[in-house]
Structure 1
Amino acid sequence: MAPNTPNAYDPAAAVAAEGRTVNRNIAEIVNSGLAARYRAERRFKVYGVVAIGVALAMLATLFVTIFAQGWTAFTTTVIELPVTVEREMVANAQGEVTTDSLAYANFAVPMRKALEAQFPDVTGRSDKRDLYAILSDGATYRLQNMIRENPELVGREILLEAPVAADFDLLAKGQVDTSVPETERRLNDNQVAWFQTLQERDLVDSQFNTILFTNGDSRQPELAGIWGAVVGSFYTLLVTLALSFPIGVAAAVYLEEFAPKNKWTDLIEVNINNLAAVPSIVFGLLGLAVFLQVFGLPRSAPLVGGLVLTLMTLPTIIIASRAALKSVPPSIREAALGVGASKLQMITHHVLPLAMPGMLTGTIIGMAQALGETAPLLMIGMVAFVVDIPGGPMDPATVLPVQIFLWADSPERAFVARTSAAIMVLLAFLVVMNALAVILRKKFERRW
């Protein structure tokens, strides 16, 4: 048969047709697999968005819950009462008003008389005791301070803003259900009626709670403040920073620039990485065994707390400092050595200044971690009830996370709001410290 007849077999055309079939099958397989990969990618994106949304929802729930419980602690309730302090009450035997005579005077008497004047029909001893319970002990302290600062007020009528007790503060803020039976609440019907009468007379007012930021701890919620814990945290972090930063930077420089690469340095590096993951309470046990029992340092002192937190933050600072040193290009080192600088001069004059922003960032993150630690400080006694404001690193003190722990464990209902308020203050400090780390990194970071 002639090759050009229609029924003639063409091998080239058959191969081309077979190739097109194979290519079409491969394309179909690739397209079907590509569609499956696209679907998997879209599912992965959805999973990521859902995960982020759940995390943000939980975070928002946490912040909303803390704020809803804690915002009321930033205000306090006071009663405006006309009070007169008689000279006979505060004067000494010579009729003079001195610092000693003011210290021994009973300022609760004029406060009670001023309150009795508002309710002259209250005559029974038990009823008077319930009436006096409206005022906080802080009212007498406030009156005493006013007379001490201005003795000329003796014998005059003073309009004093007297803070109320915690239960009445909750009543003024609408957190006491007066519809329940009297036996199921801390305030009886007479006390509720008396306080409502004071409110009707416009004698009850709300003002910013400065006590929360100026006082130390107290058994009475209306007198409890966080200033003692804030000062204790300051001294503790000061000791931690003074020890951990130079030691951590020196260790990082030695391991990265001077130490020989052998099995011993590898062992040290592995142990540093492992120490960064050790539970913090282990460092507290170490501090209890070494600093308190062996060296005999005082319990509850910021010095001991700073030493314990130094041990805990050192691995973090060393790891961050080594990463900062590694980020400096080798050309910087080679150029410094090429112009005749010694290795120490190369490190101190060129490498360290360029790596310092990263080191500071790691240090601030380590300090923020130390600020929020509680477990190691509980082991060295910083859980003690401390009323006085510490005057130095050797004085007994507590820290803000431990103060939150103590208030959360208190049965007094008024401490719930103060616990949340203290958490808000602690979160504010942590946010500021982390923001400072980000700002330092953005401002001084070098891109090579």
Structure 2
Amino acid sequence: MDHFLYRDGALYAEDVAVAEIAAAVGTPFYVYSTATLTRHFRLFDEGLAPLPHLVCYAMKANSNQAILKTLAALGAGMDVVSGGEYQRAKAAGVPGERIVFSGVGKTKDEMRMALEGGIRQFNVESEPELRALSEVAVSMGAVAPVTVRVNPDVDAKTHAKIATGKKENKFGIPIARAREVYAEIAALPGVHAVGLDVHIGSQLTDLQPFEDAYILVAELTRQLRADGHSIDRLDLGGGLGIPYERSNSAPPLPTDYCEMVKRVLGDLDVEIEIEPGRLIVGNAGLLVSAVTYVKSGEGRDFLILDSAMNDLIRPAMYDAWHDIVPVIEPAAGAAMHPFDVVGPVCESGDTFARQRPMPPVKAGDLVAFRSAGAYGAVMASEYNTRPLIPEVLVHGDHFAVIRKRPTFDEMIERDTIPEWL
């Protein structure tokens, strides 16, 4: 469910007409719904009750400060994967004890930053990382709380570029080696095991891979405790998918996922951590664009928009589907016509959809890409010297620009000319 609905023939973001925002900020732009963010976070938070738990929002999905502060105010923790994300979480007012540091390539500087600023845990992904963390912590007179991310070799049945739980993926330590790695933690200075971590991929549309992985994690938890290790929390990662294509069957609901977690892991007497990102923010956002031209080609027609692959790279990178709808509601029974929906970037890869049936549209009309709140603005670039587009947050009948569009002068002035030119 989201809060982007037609009302009196026009698309609204909560109680604000999308066309009103377009008139104020220009196109293209992203717009997010506070009500949708809040609802999706609470589905997880309430769904895991009465187990002790922390919902850590995966910031890589969308790291705008306004989004982070909205979720932090609801009690969310943050899952970060870089020093920059750590600093963003802190700037949004998230205390260190609610920040989890994931990622395969943490540097010593990032480790030091998190130990100085406060951290809930490091999700360690390799023995070399573990030893580096031990060295940094000892040099600071600190003890780093750690979990080990285990790779259970479970097929998440998702896109190859976002699968993370197979043995050929770069993530985590093979689950068969986990006991020896925890033995090393016990012997190393400066680190202390607090739990166990697993994450098998993103945009999963079936609960069975989760359950398969969690059953393995439950058994490993019992083994590690028998070995004398304190396993007080389980970080289960994120990855539950969202319905990008509304005509298809919907993925499992967060409530279904939470019930499975309680059934499989509820008897272990552990605190549960989860790291949803896409499901919290994905359907909470639209990309709004204007039609620049309607072009007739040989054997196909094109809708040329003022948004491009640099604004929303998911279709070019993952062959991802986004529903594309007119901002003015089409008449009932309107004839549909297939278009290639494309942007102005000088690459054929700058294509959002091929032969997509669309109702009548013309130059100047506004269209909205649904489910664009995750991995949209956060993956955008200034390719072709196209400015990063504005982000807007709606709250009821109010909206605010939460990232402005830079001017061309601002973009150019970031370059530095050597003294010999």
Q: TM-score, normalised by structure 2?
A: 0.18
Q: Which structure is larger by alpha-carbon Rg, 1 or 2? A: 1
Larger % of helix: which?
Answer: 1
- Structure showing the higher strand proportion among its residues: 2
* TM score, norm. by length of structure 1: 0.17
